[in-house]
A and B are shown apart, each in its own frame.
Chain A
Amino acid sequence: MTLSLWHFLAVGAAVFGVGLVGFLTRRNLITMFLCAELMLQGVAINLVAFARYHGNLQGQVFVMFILAVAACEAGVALALFLNLYRKRRSLDSSDWQELRELGVPAATDTEPLPKPVVEPDPVLTPAGARPEPTAEEVARV
């Protein structure tokens, strides 16, 4: 197989689609951010493949700017996440749904979360005869 431009474009589109699914469905702010970065990577693959196709460096220069903007985005997003986390002690984006559009009903979680599995304390099997309390020993701790 000789690789052609189409192969790279198709892979870029698929990576973008996976990132879009993650961005729409996940609720952890950090996972959402990483999925947005995944979409950026899909676009970057496209641009680099086009640069190769046309034999000039414009596409690669574009990717450099994507990198710069992604770095800015990461810094500001992290600062915002820290602030949000201090207010609600959670990274759940649905905690902030009072910011939603007018007229859209609030989403409520109906299913209960699974109980965390608590490891029971270890129990020793009793061995030997139960000691008889003696007179001089007043109380056992």
Chain B
Amino acid sequence: MIAIVDYGAGNLTSVRLALEHLRMQACITSDPNAIRSAERVVFPGVGAIGSAMKNLSKLGLCETIRDVAAAGTPFLGICLGTQIILDRSEEDGSVAGLGIIPGAVRRFRPVFPADKVPQMGWNAIVPQKKHPVFDGIPDSTAFYFVHSYYPMPMCSDDVLAVTDYAGTTFGSVIGRDNVVATQFHPERSGEAGLKLLLNFCRWDGGNKPGVAR
């Protein structure tokens, strides 16, 4: 069973639908026990980080998320879920994240007015490392992004793929060990997004490329 973590941060339906279509059993849950016992965990999120962190605390999920990430459970962060696993975000006047991956979340500060914030639409990702979630996905494939803030891991080793936007190159896929996290929405990114989700569902949490279930 895949646990999709529900902490009141936006739209989980698309994620569930995409996983169900890959014939994966998934449930939307905010029950710490269900999350701890899940075979893998998806941590999505849309919205502002301040209220998201408040909700996580209120639901008693901060430790749960840190624990499953530390326990080796294959873990996928999406969008706001990706930003939350870093140390700190500039959003909402600086908010502490879960600190699962060292680094910060910064706001796009475009020089040219044509570079709109939020970034809303398709953009290419360029993998920096081999990783099982990229299996069968060509370099420079476009995924669907919706965000004003971007992840900046402290260690370049934690940057799995980069994307250019508004004069900035940022980590569009970050991760270490059993944790992988995308700034884009794989569940709304057409066939490539589904492929990435399928790769995640088959990944044992190790970092050897091509590892099957």
Q: Do A and B truly interact?
A: no
